[in-house]
Structure 1
Amino acid sequence: MQKTKLVLVMVASLAIIASAWLLSVGIKHFRSGSPQITVTGVAERNIKSDLIVWTIDVSALNSNQEIAYNEHQSNREQIVKYLMASGITEEQIRYSSTNVSNEYDQYYDDNTQKYMRTFRGIQLSSEIIVSSNDVDNVEVIYQKISELLKQGVNFTARAPRYYYTQINTLKMEMLQEASQNAYARAKTIAEGSNSSLSDLASSTMGVFQIVGLNSEEDYSWGGTFNTSSKLKTASVTVRSSYKIK
């Protein structure tokens, strides 16, 4: 009986010693660890587009192929003449190839109880594409080109698209700003906790995106690149972790 008690005492003693050793190792590792502060830095800039791209769809429809071709050419020539008279240079104008297609009208025939179609004519269509750094002037032309409709010119003017051509330089500058913002945030948190920052442990770039200025566009995890607004807001985030001491 006493022998059994002795064994139990020895086992209990060994358990206490082992627990104390594990606790001391754990405390040692805890003290030797590197607590970190992880923050997200943000940078935003309002920018104005420096390139405008405007597409005009030109078309002509006639049952006679030659007449359709001549009408299409006349429409295109009148539009280009108007553009160049408004300050657009020849170097700023590009042309797509001309598409030719047969157009039909479809209707339901009650007698045959089938859908039928009749030949409308041959349609020719192409695009005139204006690319210019004179954004304001092209906007004015876009707003006034409907005057050509009164002259019988057949076309459709799409809404212009706006771009910022210095996007790579902008991104690099904003990454630096976002990193500085992350450091400032981490430093504030550390000082508020009576600590100070040490080395940078890690840093990753978040999403870079551009939305319309003061718009209600949703930010996207994949990045949003607005082309419908002349004035835009660019933003980027940086997630950084700093060791503290």
Structure 2
Amino acid sequence: MRVSGVASGYLSSEQVIIEFEIESLSDSAGTSLLQNNHKISKAINEMKKAGVEESELSTQDMKIYPSYRQDYDDNTKSYKSTFEGYKVENRLIFVSKKLDLAGKVIDIAVSNGIDKITSVQFAPTQTKIKELKDSLISQAVEDAVKRANLALQPINYEIKSVKSINIENESSGRNQLYSKVQFLYSSPSLHEQNDETKLFDNLKKISVQVNVSFIIGRKQTTSN
């Protein structure tokens, strides 16, 4: 007999991870790179003034490549590639346990021309996630035993032993956040008030499912 058991728990966030993408385009690769570096450096300097530490910031995945746009030619009735310059792409990543700085970091980035926010995550640490999952495995097995006993009771069978236990899947709930960055475009009055962006975190749901195979048999009857 095979039965699934499930257990869930909740964790509060202990760190925030924000990723920005910075693009620049110019006639020469050197100029485009300088523009990109200037934009990042300016934003980083302003973030440091707001209390961000240098160790909480990093850049990754810089790319430089010729950029082409597709223009439609009325004469040939077809599209042709037109060179428009050299594009530089870079990523700025903010990782910190100072959750209250998240909104301020976004405000500083946007006000300094970094308007592409690719990811905002509030998350527990991996250590906390592992500790919770380890404790949930035993709870999920207990849930499987309980379900098996309930199913066997009407047919007068019982669990004799456990044959195997397999962890089917482990999952965590999606990070949900509410950022006023999304509201600035739909609510100009908020932008005019120059309020600080507010991000609201939620608890993360961690779930573990196990499949337990039982060896079952008919209940033994006792006779006087």
Q: TM-score, normalised by structure 1?
A: 0.64
Rounded Cα–Cα distance in structure 1 between residues aligned with 2:145 and 2:210: 10
**Structure with the higher strand share, 1 or 2:** 2
Q: 1:123-169: per-residue Cα shift (whole Å, max 9, x none)?
A: 222111122233x22432355246415xxx35522221344313322
Percent of aligned pairs with the same residue?
19
Secondary structure of the residue aligned to 2:75 is coil
In the alignment, is the contact (CA less than 8 A) between 1:202 and 1:242 conserved in 2? no
Secondary structure of the residue aligned to 1:140 is helix
- Give 1:206's match in structure 2, choosing from 135, 159, 168: 168
Rounded Cα–Cα distance in structure 2 between residues aligned with 1:230 and 1:99: 35
Rounded Cα–Cα distance in structure 2 between residues aligned with 1:235 and 1:175: 9
Shift of 1:55: 1.3
Rounded Cα–Cα distance in structure 2 between residues aligned with 1:191 and 1:114: 74
Code of the aligned partner of 1:236: V
Code of the aligned partner of 1:159: S
Q: For 1:36-115, list aligned pairs within 5 A.
A: 38-115=2-79
**Structure with the higher helix share, 1 or 2:** 1
Q: Name the CA shift for 1:46/1:213 in 2 (closer, same or farther; >3 Å).
A: farther
> Structure 2 stretches of 5 or more lacking a match?
177-200, 220-224
In the alignment, is the contact (CA less than 8 A) between 2:10 and 2:205 conserved in 1? yes
Code of the aligned partner of 1:243: I
Secondary structure of the residue aligned to 1:87 is coil
Structure exhibiting the larger radius of gyration computed from Cα positions = 1
Q: Name the CA shift for 1:213/1:183 in 2 (closer, same or farther; >3 Å).
A: farther
Q: TM-score, normalised by structure 2?
A: 0.69
- Name the counterpart of 1:156: 116
> Structure 1 stretches of 5 or more lacking a match?
1-36, 215-228
Number of residues paired by the alignment? 191
